[in-house]
Homo-oligomer: A and B are copies of this chain.
């Protein structure tokens, strides 16, 4: 005789898990929410005051950074990684975030791990003043190995139609201003894990390789993907910027090309900033070719602002006021046909 539980799904532990996350979700609630938690859908009122309100949305995961969290048994910040990644993706379009939904899937639901993960999602939402309006928690035995899980999320934001940033304003001569990343963010983890744990010298998660200057491999690889919402909004509201690129999979050039179209091209001076040591650590640990480093990792620059030369000084000053350390890393020019 087979019950649902014997088949591998434990609804009681699912209920216990849901009751654990309820206070975290409640803490994210803001004015725009309508209705109640537990309904089939999440409700959010479209804000007033827009002439042509455009919704901007993005879905993302955190890649195999989840594997590092599992290896390190540290689950409380992976949710922030997710939220910040998603928020950056819509912020670079000129949007401000409205609300968030998460998807958590595991082989078996460990209420402690689950609470830890969702508390991070909620913290990330709260930091951006947006409610966690919906979520799906899936217990899927034999799809995920014991202890493993995947995490994805969707953010929905809003922008006035005339304020959309989609690359169409980018012009010859625009300067690329880079803002520092906090580490690997959420990309390149398959290569980073390969280099760290399967390289010539297979490190453990708690090792402190000399290049990491006293920090463990786990600490370095779990550095939280930072949010750029504050500096992005500051540049947008001051009208100083032509476009932004969020540096994720594909690296600095790959992502900046998403807002620079032919006949324009761009060049990046990789010697313009000091590459954080975690990237040197990865490159040396597995002898990764420089081209793969550039196409895979942010290399210390997590956001690129494309600014016309006339605004450069004001943009840099404004960014400094936001506590940023902006670096001029390249420029936009006409595509060379020679």
Which residues of chain A have a CB within 8 Å of any CB of chain B?
A: 1-4, 6-9, 11, 34-36, 38-46, 50, 52-61, 63-64, 66-67, 89-90, 92-93, 95, 98-99, 101-103, 105, 133-136, 138-144, 148, 150, 152, 154, 156-158, 161, 164, 166-167, 188, 190-191, 193-195, 199, 245-246, 258, 286-289, 292, 295-296
25 examples of A-B residue contacts, CB within 8 angstroms: A1-B287, A2-B191, A2-B199, A4-B292, A34-B164, A36-B166, A38-B258, A40-B58, A41-B57, A41-B92, A41-B157, A43-B54, A44-B54, A45-B52, A45-B55, A55-B99, A59-B134, A59-B136, A59-B154, A61-B105, A61-B136, A66-B143, A67-B143, A103-B103, A156-B156
Q: Across the interface, do A295 and B4 meet the contact criterion of CB distance under 8 Å?
A: yes
A156: B residues at CB distance < 8 A: 55, 57, 156
| B residues near A2, Cβ cutoff 8 Å | 191, 194-195, 199, 286-288
Residue from the list B45, B55, B67, B166 in contact with A44, Cβ < 8 A:
B55
Docked CA distance A299–B103 (Å): 26
Q: Report the separation of the CA atoms of residues A295 and B10 in the bound assembly, to the nearest whole angstrom.
A: 12
Q: How far is the CA of A54 from the CA of B61 in the complex (A)?
A: 26
Whether B41 and A95, one on each chain, are in contact in the complex, defined by CB atoms closer than 8 angstroms, is: yes
Residues of B within 8 A of A58 (CB): 40-42, 101, 134
Are the C-beta atoms of B52 and A136 separated by less than 8 Å?
Answer: no
Q: Within the complex, which residue of B3, B134, B194 is in contact with A7, where a contact is CB–CB below 8 Å?
A: B194
Query: How many angstroms from the CA of A294 to the CA of B59 in the assembled complex?
Result: 34
Determine whether the beta carbon of B1 is less than 8 Å from that of A289.
Answer: yes
9 further A-B pairs in the complex, CB-CB below 8 A; given A2-B194, A3-B289, A55-B99:
A1-B287, A6-B194, A38-B258, A40-B258, A42-B57, A45-B55, A46-B158, A57-B154, A59-B154
| Interface hub of A7, A139, A190, A258 (most chain B Cβ within 10 A) | A7
Q: A53-B45, A195-B2 are in contact. Are A138 and B63 (CB under 8 A)?
A: yes
Q: How far is the CA of A300 from the CA of B56 in the complex (A)?
A: 38
Q: How far is the CA of A142 from the CA of B199 in the complex (A)?
A: 16
Cβ-defined partner of A54 (8 Å) among B8, B40, B45, B195:
B45
Task: Note all chain B residues with C-beta closer than 8 A to A45.
Answer: 52-55, 161
Distance (Å) between the CB of A83 and the closest chain B CB? 14
* B61 near A138: Cβ-Cβ < 8 Å: yes
Q: How far apart sit A190 and B105, CA to CA, in the bound complex (Å)? A: 14
Q: How far is the CB of A64 from chain B (nearest CB, A)?
A: 5
Q: Which residues of B contact A152 (CB under 8 A)?
A: 103, 105, 136, 138, 152
In the bound complex, residues from chain B placing their C-beta under 8 Å from that of A287 are 1-2
In whole Å, how far is A65's beta carbon from the nearest beta carbon of chain B? 10
Q: How far is the CB of A6 from chain B (nearest CB, A)?
A: 8
Q: Do B42 and A286 touch across chains, with their CB atoms under 8 A apart?
A: no
